[in-house]
Structure 1
Amino acid sequence: MNINLTDKITLPGFPSGSGIVHVGDHYYAIGDDAPYLFKLDAAFAVVEKIPLLEVDTFSGTRISKPDKPDFETLEKIGDTELVVFGSGSKSPQRDVFVRILLEDSITVEKYVTTAFYTALKSLPIFAGSELNLEAVAYRNGQIFLFNRKKNLVLQFPYVEVLAYLQGVGDFPIPMATEFTLPAINGVEAGFSGATALEGQAKIIFTASVEDTDNAYDDGEILGSFLGTIDLFDDALGGELHYIQLPGSAGVVKVESITVTAETSPSSAAVVLITDNDRGDSDLFRGVLSW
């Protein structure tokens, strides 16, 4: 694998970047302590801020850490729908799912996920782990939730997750897979972002190394990785490939990735979003090859 970074863009006043998707001629992005979904143009200028929370529940552009919903996951469902999950690392503040319908006028639906997250934590594979959803990917009707602790990936039919959250279906038992990721200075990386390719059965993921011993507190940033996971019959194949982000990017915490073009069967133009923990966010454009 290789990543050729071509340029870096700083988004001043865009706090704690945590997710980005490319839809048509625009990008949509979230921050883990921001109350908005940001719509960006092709030059990454903010053209619209869409409230994801009731306006009377926050003030300013950042939400305090004890109160934030911790929006860490963003993915597109086709070209007409976006989904955002709160991390679930603190209940009930982070027990939320937001569905954004990109029709003629944007519709925002919000759901409480406490029961869903409680059911996830009761799964045997969560023994010795903590709930901290950091990424989501979607392909062919399947949704993949990435949990940072133990690097778990939970796969569900999306319609069954949505039916359960809407109160019209039973809890869907996921297919669950645990991965081992590379380490820096003895600290294993944790999943931080993901998206699926449309032209081939593959998920691209990001992972970061942060020196902290729990799902709530931040720690020293040690570096980041990019990788791929193959899918077979729309299920995780278990084969994982990765590279460390090159030193030319600096020591950064890559939070997520989106594909702008699948340029060949073995490469894609991508945009990475990073959180510098100083109130701004940085984007990196590049070409990922495998």
Structure 2
Amino acid sequence: MEKFHLQLFLNIIGIGSASGLLFKNDSLFIISDNSTYLYEYHLTNDTLQRHALDENPQENIAKKEKLDFESIALNKNKIIILGSGSTKNRNKVASYHLESKEIQNIDFTLPFENLKKTASLSEGELNIEGLIITPKKSYFFQRGNTKDGSNGIFILNDDTNDSFEFKKITLPKINTIEATFTDAILVNENIYFLAAVENTISTYEDGEILGTFFGKINLENLIIEKTLLISKKNKFEGITLYKETKNQLEFLLCEDNDTEQLTSKIYKLTINN
């Protein structure tokens, strides 16, 4: 996993502050942390479709009001979209059914409170940035970018429903600042993750971007096996598998530009197995 190639793949007009993406059925589903749309970019004909996630969908929502959708994951035939939980209005889960196109919304306040209790997080320290759903367990990736925060993974066993475990994860540093999780996916019993280094100790305020790491975690023991610094300037916030061959994995990444511009750059990351 030492060799990699990073290149610009798409420049999509109409989406701002991309925070997560999912490749499925030749479509790229994208969420934005300041929007209440699920975007579907059709790669076969280069068209963009919007799916409203509530009755009054908006774009470029003010920071204090946004739902802060940061995580996107596939659960059977549904796309699950999760807010970060970093403030009271960011406790929402939305789902999109790939066949019926039905949208459902759930209040996730109580599970988020359970997450905070499990990891002894104070108010304002919870910041979920990635989600992986398997038949037996769900994994929530905590971005520990507060002064006393810790990176880690919350594990929910499906047979317990509300009982979480928390596994602290130590990530690499740049200039003494530890990287923090921004997304993760599961490929062949391995977790592949992104972790950005940002000069801030707030789940709310942005800071200077120092780079992004890509890494691999063993699913069975949740131990980091590899990390690579893939950029010294980009803050990548979303990752999805694009193609897999015997010798290579190709991922698509999205970048949160932290501006009001409705344009999003999608990058392709190629990793040698």
Common topology (TM > 0.5):
yes
- The residue type equivalent to 1:254 in the other structure is F
Which shifted more, 27-36 or 42-51?
A: 42-51
8 Å CA contact 2:19, 2:30 repeated in 1? yes
Superposed, which structure 2 residues align to 1:186-201 within 5 Å? Answer: 186-197=176-187, 200-201=188-189
Could you list the runs of 5+ residues in structure 2 that have no partner in the other structure?
Answer: 145-149
Cα distance, 1:196 vs structure 2: 0.6
Q: In structure 2, what is the equivalent of residue 237 of structure 1?
A: 222
Cα distance, 1:157 vs structure 2: 3.3
Could you list the runs of 5+ residues in structure 1 that have no partner in the other structure?
Answer: 162-170
Cα distance, 1:119 vs structure 2: 1.5
Identical residues among aligned pairs (%)? 28
Q: In structure 2, what is the equivalent of residue 164 of structure 1?
A: none
Of 134, 137, 145, which residue of structure 1 is paired with 2:140? 145
Q: In structure 2, what is the equivalent of residue 157 of structure 1?
A: 157
3-state secondary structure, aligned to 1:122:
helix
- Check 1:288–1:62 CA distance in 2 against 1; reply closer, same or farther (3 A cut): same
Of 241, 248, 256, which residue of structure 2 is paired with 1:267? 248
Distance in 2 (alpha carbons) for counterparts of 1:186 and 1:63:
33
Q: In structure 2, what is the equivalent of residue 111 of structure 1?
A: 106
Deviation track 1:84-119 (CA, whole Å, cap 9, x = no partner) reads 11101011x10111122111x301111111111112
Cα distance, 1:269 vs structure 2: 1.2
Q: Does 1:283 align with 2:266?
A: yes
Cα distance, 1:267 vs structure 2: 3.0
8 Å CA contact 1:38, 1:46 repeated in 2? no
Distance in 2 (alpha carbons) for counterparts of 1:63 and 1:288:
35
For the aligned residue pairs, the C-alpha RMSD in angstroms reads: 2.1
8 Å CA contact 1:40, 1:47 repeated in 2? yes
- Check 1:194–1:179 CA distance in 2 against 1; reply closer, same or farther (3 A cut): same
Superposed, which structure 2 residues align to 1:1-290 within 5 Å? Answer: 1=1, 2-42=3-43, 45-55=46-56, 59=58, 61-78=59-76, 80-91=77-88, 93-103=89-99, 105-126=100-121, 130-149=125-144, 150-158=150-158, 161=161, 171=162, 173-197=163-187, 200-232=188-220, 236-246=221-231, 251-264=233-246, 267-278=248-259, 279=261, 280-290=263-273
Cα distance, 1:128 vs structure 2: 9.8
Distance in 2 (alpha carbons) for counterparts of 1:148 and 1:124:
12
Cα distance, 1:47 vs structure 2: 2.9
3-state secondary structure, aligned to 2:115:
helix
- Check 1:215–1:246 CA distance in 2 against 1; reply closer, same or farther (3 A cut): closer
Deviation track 1:42-87 (CA, whole Å, cap 9, x = no partner) reads 26834310011221xx54x221101100000001123x11111110
8 Å CA contact 2:87, 2:124 repeated in 1? no
3-state secondary structure, aligned to 2:114:
helix
- The residue type equivalent to 1:262 in the other structure is E
- TM-score (norm. length: structure 1): 0.85
3-state secondary structure, aligned to 2:49:
strand
Distance in 2 (alpha carbons) for counterparts of 1:96 and 1:46:
28
- The residue type equivalent to 1:90 in the other structure is T
Q: In structure 1, what is the equivalent of residue 147 of structure 2?
A: none
Report the number of matched residues: 265
3-state secondary structure, aligned to 1:123:
helix
Distance in 1 (alpha carbons) for counterparts of 2:238 and 2:206:
17
3-state secondary structure, aligned to 1:205:
strand
Deviation track 1:6-25 (CA, whole Å, cap 9, x = no partner) reads 43422233110000001111
8 Å CA contact 2:86, 2:124 repeated in 1? no
